Amino acid sequence: MLNHKNPLTRIALLFAAPLLLSACTSSGPSTSAAIMNGMQGEETNSICFNRNIRSWHEFDDTAIVVESRNDEYYKLELAGGCNTRNAFMQIAVQSRGSSCLTPGDRITFDRDRGLSCAIIDIHRWHLADMTE
């Protein structure tokens, strides 16, 4: 049982709370519209992250859009047994490299019960301007 009167426990909880929340974030309504109305850009060989994927958004049955560092977005085309509609709270990546994703790496969604998809293409994604 946690003792909330212990100052070290309080400090640990203060630092852990933002990490737990950020692990479960996906894009909000305005970002979702900008993603869905955006445009595919140039193909890239990899996406690198500082610590983790900042957010993700289901695009269609075979693709998701992820946000990496510096508010850069990428569309990942997927193949395999997973269902992008199951990317509810968490996604897991299995990379052959360090903190970068490349074609051939795998993604698993929290509701897919262990099924995974391979990344087959990565394209830069340009958000639509939704200021109108």
Q: Where are the domains of the chain?
A: 26-126
- Is the pLDDT at 6 greater than 90, yes or no? no
Distance CA 75, CA 78 (A): 10
- Flag the least confident range among 31-35, 97-101, 106-110, 125-129: 97-101
Give the lowest-confidence range in 11-20, 94-103, 117-126: 11-20
Q: What is the pTM of this model?
A: 0.72
Q: What is the pLDDT of residue 22?
A: 32
Sign of the four-CA dihedral 55, 122, 96, 91: positive
89 SS3 class: coil
Q: How far apart are CA 22 and CA 17, in angstroms?
A: 9
Average pLDDT (88-111) is: 80
Q: Are strands 63-67 and 91-94 parallel, antiparallel or unpaired?
A: unpaired
